[in-house]
Amino acid sequence: MYTKLSMLNFFVVGNIKMHTSSKQLKKDFIKKWVKGLEICCSSNKKMDVMERKKKIKLCADIALASAKNATTSWSNALIYNAKKDDENAILVDNLLGPESRFNSQRTAHQMITFHKRVRSKRILKKSCTVSQRMKKASPPASNLATCIAKRLVKKRTQVLKKLVPGGEAMDEYSLIKEALDYILSLRVQVDVMRSLANATEVLD
């Protein structure tokens, strides 16, 4: 009971801190996003509408991740994935700046460790014979609800891991913490982009 209350308190306090820092995050995001758009616009490459949309989204995502200054796992994973494409490397480096705490080697090491762990689990799972699986007794009726609940939690956790950048390499505790931060950061991103769209409509 104490552990659950401690975790709840941690997330509530963390939530309040995130809300208070959202103003600064908005400022940093706008600054970096505009800079990213300027870099993309300065390119001589001709882009159609879909390519422009992708570039705007890419700039927004990298700007948001770099505005967090490598303080979260999701932002590190997002930047790491973006940098894998050589075409995005210049954009990422410019938005990160020399003051960034992003460590590509550390992030790469975390991703490699995760993939090794996944491969080991798959090999272990395949090594189980059909006869061993058949020997497993069906859960008693009293435990059926618990088993169903656990399966639902597992499925939803897997979905959440796919939604949060780098989520597949996180444990459940870290995943909840990172998901909360990611959601609040996305809200900041959406608010800024909506405000810019509204301002553009007024000017037109």
**CB atoms closer than 10 angstroms to residue 32:** 22
Side chain identity at 113, as an amino acid letter?
T
The stretch 75-102 carries a mean pLDDT of: 81
Query: From CA 95, how far away is CA 62, in angstroms rounded?
Result: 7
The stretch 124-151 carries a mean pLDDT of: 63
Contacts of 110 (CB under 8 A, 6+ apart): 73, 166, 169
The stretch 85-89 carries a mean pLDDT of: 82
Answer yes or no: is pLDDT of 181 > 90: yes
- Which pLDDT does position 204 carry in this prediction? 61
Residue of higher predicted confidence among 180 and 83: 180
Band of pLDDT at residue 16, cut at 50, 70 and 90:
very low
Q: Are the beta carbons of 142 and 34 closer than 8 angstroms?
A: no
Residue of higher predicted confidence among 32 and 7: 32
Query: From CA 11, how far away is CA 88, in angstroms rounded?
Result: 34
Average pLDDT, whole number, for the chain?
76
Band of pLDDT at residue 29, cut at 50, 70 and 90:
very high
Percentages of the chain per state (helix, strand, coil), in multiples of 5: 80, 0, 20
- Which pLDDT does position 8 carry in this prediction? 41
* Separation of CA 69 from chain center: 14
pTM, full prediction: 0.69
Percent of the chain topping pLDDT 90: 25
Q: Tell me the DSSP string of 31-44.
A: HHHHHHHHHHHT--
Query: From CA 8, how far away is CA 92, in angstroms rounded?
Result: 35
Band of pLDDT at residue 178, cut at 50, 70 and 90:
very high
Q: Are the beta carbons of 104 and 75 closer than 8 angstroms?
A: no
The 10s digit of each residue's pLDDT in 39-82 is 888 877 788 888 888 888 999 999 999 998 878 999 999 998 88
Answer yes or no: is pLDDT of 7 > 50: no
